[in-house]
Amino acid sequence: MTSDEHGIPPNKYNPHAWIINNPEIGDGTWIGAFTVIDGIGGLKIGKWCDISCGVHIVTHSTVKRCITERKYSEIEKSESIIEDYVFVGENATILMGVHIGHHSIIAAGTVVKEHTIIPPYSLVAGVPGRIVQNIEDEIEGWIKGNVSDLDNNTDL
């Protein structure tokens, strides 16, 4: 299927990803199919991130405009930042104004609420997303080739 057939503008990341308004995306970042990457409010995605299939990253909201019968005429916008080496799991949603620190994991299905700040080395899960644990030690173990407790965590 071509972009003419499905209506999604072409991009260099994935023919089935809808990337809106030219967000800044770092080198080596991978974006899966069926994603919506909205840069209307400003979006920076760092280098070597993985954005899994079905993820929605939204940097604007029309909620106030809609429910006020258009009397609130503004479309709210807020820049979001995803730092380097962040993994975003399948079907996660990241709302406007979010800042996700480097080397973090956003678990599949997680919803990160507007204007949330996630520190580096965080594992975030749930609806709404909450920090489950700091994963800095696990990452060091993976780099050294050790098995970690995170690999055996059945709570996720």
State the alpha helices, DSSP H only, in 21-73: 63-67
- On whether residue 92 sits in a domain, the answer given is yes
Task: Determine the average pLDDT of the residues in 94-99.
Answer: 98
Question: Where does the pLDDT of residue 156 fall: very low under 50, low under 70, confident under 90, or very high at 90 and above?
Answer: very low
1 located within any domain: no
Residue 9 lies in a domain: no
Task: Give the range of the structural domain holding residue 79, as residue numbers without chain letter.
Answer: 16-144
Number of structural domains the chain divides into? 1
The length of the chain is 156
Instruction: Indicate the burial class of 92 (C-beta count within 10 angstroms; 0-12, 13-18, 19 or more).
Output: buried
Residue 155 lies in a domain: no
Q: pLDDT at residue 37 above 90?
A: yes
Q: CB count, 10 Å around CB of 25? A: 22
Number of Cα atoms under 13 Å in the Cβ half of residue 48: 5
pLDDT at 117 over 70: yes
Global pTM?
0.87
User: Does residue 137 form part of some domain?
Assistant: yes
